[in-house]
Amino acid sequence: MKHLWAPWRMTYLECKDKQAKDCCVFCVRDIVGEDAERLILWRGRHAFVVMNKFPYTNGHLLIAPYRHIPDILDLEPEESAEMLLLLRRCRMVMQQCLKPQGFNIGMNLGKIAGAGVADHLHMHIVPRWTGDTNFMPVFAEVRVIPQHLEETYAILLEGFKSVPDEVGCRCPD
């Protein structure tokens, strides 16, 4: 048997036994000074953009409201509007910086639908390229990500700074 070590996942696993809101990775509104280590790329008034620490492909981003809500029907109109504007911004930044050939965009509502964090609504935007998947996920249950998260973060952070703002958002400090 071969082992793939991923010690950074322990924090995620330990949180599974605690109350959801106490250790929710998306409850970051009042957390300051940790945006780079949390991979937060952009903060808006009602929602924010963060890189997925367990991406499907390089540059996989998540958009979430600050409020800890589980369903799209729980969104206030301002949150819903800002999330869509952030989705547009993410797409522009990714096109400029990563040059993908396509995108998967969506939400998994509820655990049964595949939501890894079912209690806090979030949207995925996954850049796609020809050949970005191969036999590894099928035979070894392993995804090959060609670029380190920190390197992708730096590239995308610069992209977020250069794309015009639609909703009064700001890049993390």
- How many CB atoms neighbour CB 74 within 10 A? 13
Which amino acid would we find at residue 75? L
Cβ atoms 60, 133 nearer than 8 A: no
3-state secondary structure of 56: coil
Of the residues 46, 60, 122, 124, only one is catalytic, namely 122
Distance separating alpha carbons of residues 163 and 151, to the nearest angstrom: 19
Distance separating alpha carbons of residues 64 and 83, to the nearest angstrom: 7
Which amino acid would we find at residue 153? Y
124 carries an active-site annotation: no
Nearest partner of 164 among 89, 74, 80, 110, judged by Cα: 89
Question: C-alpha dihedral over 17, 20, 23, 29, to 10 degrees?
Answer: 180
User: What residues contact 144, with CB distance under 8 A and at least 6 apart?
Assistant: 134, 136
The set of catalytic residues is 122
